Structure 1
Amino acid sequence: MASSVPGPLPLPESRYDLSTYMGRVYHCAEISDPTMLFTTSKQLEDAKNLISDYRNGRVTEVSEQFWTAKKILDSTVHPDTGETVVLPFRMSSCVLSNLVVTAGMLTPGLGTAGTLFWQIANQSLNVAVNYSNANKSHPLSTTQLIQNYAIAVTSSCGVALGLNAIVPRLRNVSPNTKMILGRLVPFAAVVSAGIVNVFAMRSQEIKKGISVFDKDGNEVGKSKTAAVYAVGETAASRVINATPIMVIPPLILVRLQRGFLKGKGLGIQTLVNLGLIAATSFIALPFALAIFPQYQGIDIHRLESDLAGKKDKNGDIIDKVYFNRGI
């Protein structure tokens, strides 16, 4: 993110009003814009230089070029480390990276082997995205990363296989209802494992706290309470994001298979399924990401007592601090 570029002057957060939900939707649509994947190394370097000039007072105008540079950094660079996020795990690649694994999980009649394969593939991608975009106050060790990955995969596969075994045995349920419930099994697996995944991958933040900053971007201290908010809200946003993507396409596909797609080959049905997932994902992602601000303020009296009474560089008592929620 642009905020990772050093300098004494604060950056405007966005060209949109992030105190409103729709302002955050427009902002999230920018950082998840897939065209940002075509950003070249030179464009990235030029963007960093322009933002650096602004933060150090060499440029004062907030121009369209400034907003473009900020968009490039916000969609490409990690806000804590300043490092470029690996391409498949950037938010601008979120829909495209998830498209294939989501389509795989939502394929009817997978069987045990297919269910295991796609659930493992999905959790592998989730772990990589969580790790790449998490608050970096406390990086995970390799051992912790492997343990958390194993927990997420076990949870996902356990729920999927368990429900696949239970649904066909339900009594007093019509065949049509059983079919619909079967199509929604991947949703239940993804949601439950997604929550476990986020908390497992970011457990060190809750144990040790995350960095909180004053309005000028100077670190005030660490807060476990802020970490709970950050991780909890991220887990909730994953559920909100997964719900339309994992529920709407399979239900529409069921309807289409009784009409337009009836008798059509597997290839056509797969293309329609991919199209439904892609369209739903592109529409849903900004709305889900915008539920909670990525950078948000919190009154200092709601945090640990040892943060109270601290002063900023001007000697004023800090009454509000800010933290990066992560994505």
Structure 2
Amino acid sequence: MALDLNTNKLRINIDEPRWDQSTYWGRAKHFFVTTNPLNLLCTSKELERAREVVTKHRKGENVPGLTEDDLWTAKHVYDSAFHPDTGEKMVLIGRMSAQVPMNMTITGCMMTFYKTTKAVVFWQWFNQSFNAIVNYSNRSGDSPISVQQLGTSYVLATSGALATALGLNSLVKRAPPLIGRFVPFAAVAAANCINIPMMRSKEVSDGVPVIDKDGNRIGDSKIAAKQGIGSVVLSRILMASPGMIFPPIIMDRLERRGFLSRYPMAGAPLQVIMCGICLTFATPMCCALFPQKSSIAVSQLEPEIQERCKQLPNPPTVLYYNKGL
């Protein structure tokens, strides 16, 4: 839309996504934009311009010649580089737009160099180090991650991934080669099952805010926190699945046909490229599986929250909470 926002006196709520988040494809469109790797190419000048546009619009100030499309472009660029709560510029590899290029490189290398202990230790450590940077960069401003919590999660996730990878490698030595190629996927899945709950353990102990349809805070729910963390763990594992399942099958066939013996240096680049193709689509599409503003029936929540709802003039049957990413 080329409509001038200043001339037409339009005020757009940019604190909500552009597309309808009650539909899967609306959420998918949002995450395709959020995880767009091209945002990494924005210069410092472009990032500052985007911040200026977003800041002025939120304050109700006019930006000469600003159209609706210009506003949303600036918002998406701003979201790709600046923390939503603190407003600080995030480190490059910690941004959501870096997820595809970073993960395709790490995943491709994990699946290429999975046979030796040294390679397994290095790439699992590297992967969990990257995850720690992403988790810290995208930490909540309301519930900040302490250094102790970050360190504990990092150590446990790395240990879990290494134990899984090294343990399975020893078990599958006599199994068909294809089975061994799936060991990195099992290690990543195990690490996600440890890392995410650990990073969000404060939510499990204290609960997350649950609100009604009008945004009124009803209370804090540990049950909603566990449901949200479970959905995030599932989406993260599914996100990694295509890039860690299809490339091994293709590489196994190439190995059987002698391609990799003729071109041994082609293994890592091929797997990185295949992972990149898979992650380009899997990352946004799996992030969109569950609504960011998730719902939960009041009957499933803690008794005290149920009682609080019953005392309201129009008792809600469903409450909402932020599931996280």
TM range (shorter): 0.7 to 0.9
Cα distance in 2, alignment partners of residues 301 and 70 from structure 1: 38
Q: Secondary structure at the match of 2:85?
A: coil
Q: CA deviation at 1:141?
A: 2.2
- Of stretches 60-69 and 95-104 in structure 1, the one that deviates more from structure 2 is 60-69
Alpha-carbon distance, 1:300 to partner: 5.9
- What is the aligned partner in structure 2 of residue 99 from structure 1? 104
1:297–1:320: 8 Å Cα contact kept in structure 2? Answer: yes
Query: 1:42 and 1:316 mapped to 2: Cα distance?
Result: 50
Alignment of 1:123-202 (within 5 A): 123-169=128-174, 178-202=176-200
Shift of 1:262: 4.5
Per the alignment, residue 111 of structure 1 pairs with 116
What residue is the counterpart of 1:68 in the other structure?
A: 73
Give the TM-score normalised by structure 1: 0.82
Alignment deviations for residues 198-233 of structure 1 (CA, whole Å, 9 cap, x no partner): 111111121122345666777665432332233222
The percent of aligned pairs where both chains have the same amino acid is 38
1:225 aligns with 2:230: no
- Number of residue pairs matched by the alignment: 311
Q: Offset of 1:197 from its aligned partner?
A: 0.9
**Residue 86 (structure 2) aligned to one of 81, 95, 100:** 81
Aligned partners of 1:16 and 1:26 also within 8 Å = yes
What are the Cα deviations for residues 64-88 of structure 1, in whole angstroms up to 9, with x where unaligned?
A: 0111122113322333333332210
Residue 17 of structure 1 is matched in structure 2 by 20
Cα distance in 2, alignment partners of residues 299 and 70 from structure 1? 33
Structure 1 residue 316 displacement after superposition: 9.2
> How many Å separate the matches in 2 of 1:9 and 1:216?
19
1:10 and 1:217 in contact (8 A); partners too: no
Which secondary structure state, in structure 1, belongs to the residue aligned with residue 172 of structure 2? Answer: helix
Inter-CA distance 222–55: structure 2 relative to 1 (3 Å threshold): farther
Supply the RMSD in Å over aligned alpha carbons.
3.2
1:15, distance to aligned residue in structure 2 (A):
2.7
Q: Name stretches of at least 5 consecutive residues in structure 1 with no aligned partner.
A: 1-7, 171-177
Provide the rounded CA distance (Å) in 1 between the counterparts of 2:58 and 2:198. 36
Are the structure 2 counterparts of residues 19 and 260 from structure 1 closer, same or farther at C-alpha, using a change threshold of 3 Å? farther
> CA 1:167–1:229 in 2, change beyond 3 Å: closer, same or farther?
same
Partner SS for 1:168: coil
Contact 2:203 2:225 in 1 (8 A): yes
* Matches for 1:21-36 after TM superposition, within 5 Å: 21-36=24-39
Q: TM-score, normalised by structure 2?
A: 0.82
Alignment of 1:192-271 (within 5 A): 192-212=190-210, 222-259=220-257, 261-271=259-269
Q: Deviations over 1:232-288 (max 9, x none)?
A: 221111111011111111111111233472543322232222211111111211111
* Structure 1 residue 310 displacement after superposition: 11
Q: Which runs of 5+ in 2 are unaligned?
A: 1-10
Residue number in structure 1 paired with 2:41: 38
Q: Pick one of 288, 291, 295 that aligns with 2:289.
A: 291
